[in-house]
Amino acid sequence: MAKEIERKYLVKDESWRSVASSSSAFLQAYIATGKDRSVRIRIMDGERAKLTIKVGRDLFARDEFEYDIPLADAEEMSRQALGVVLEKTRYKVPFEGHIWEVDVYAGTYAGLVVAEVEMADEKVQPVVPGWIGQEITGDRRYSNAVMATEDLSEELVNGLSIKVV
């Protein structure tokens, strides 16, 4: 069992782009969700897929189980998804000993840009880059499972003071 410990933030400008080390296009679909768990599939670059099960109410630290699955299975499951299938490009941005993942959403959430950083321990306080804005760790509206099942695009995208494409 792996523990996912992460902090999540809005991104306030595009200065991270010049130091991004890689990117990958994701389709992310939720197959099942509950108050303290979710089951999702993720298709990366249209070439490979993973099934992920997350358990826990805390959006900062949860148990996470992730498995490679056949691409054809993932494509079939995505057609049976709950709500919105999320589309995003994830960029990896190294900064001060951590790899920040910047998600630039497309489709329903086009204009939303969120960064997260995973840590090995809940006590770790990573150095926050200057392009990071408001912390949204624990704000359920920015949980991908909630974004997929409740379609908060009007609130999350139109309520932003900046839009990054």
Active site residues: 30
| Amino acid in position 2 | A
Give yes or no for a contact between 140 and 78, defined as CB atoms under 8 angstroms apart.
no
Tokens coding 88:
């995003």
What size, in residues, is the chain? 165
What's the Rg (C-alpha) of the chain? 15
Number of CB atoms found within 10 A of residue 49's CB? 21
The span from the CA of 53 to the CA of 76, in Å, is 18
Q: What tokens does 31 get?
A: 């197959």
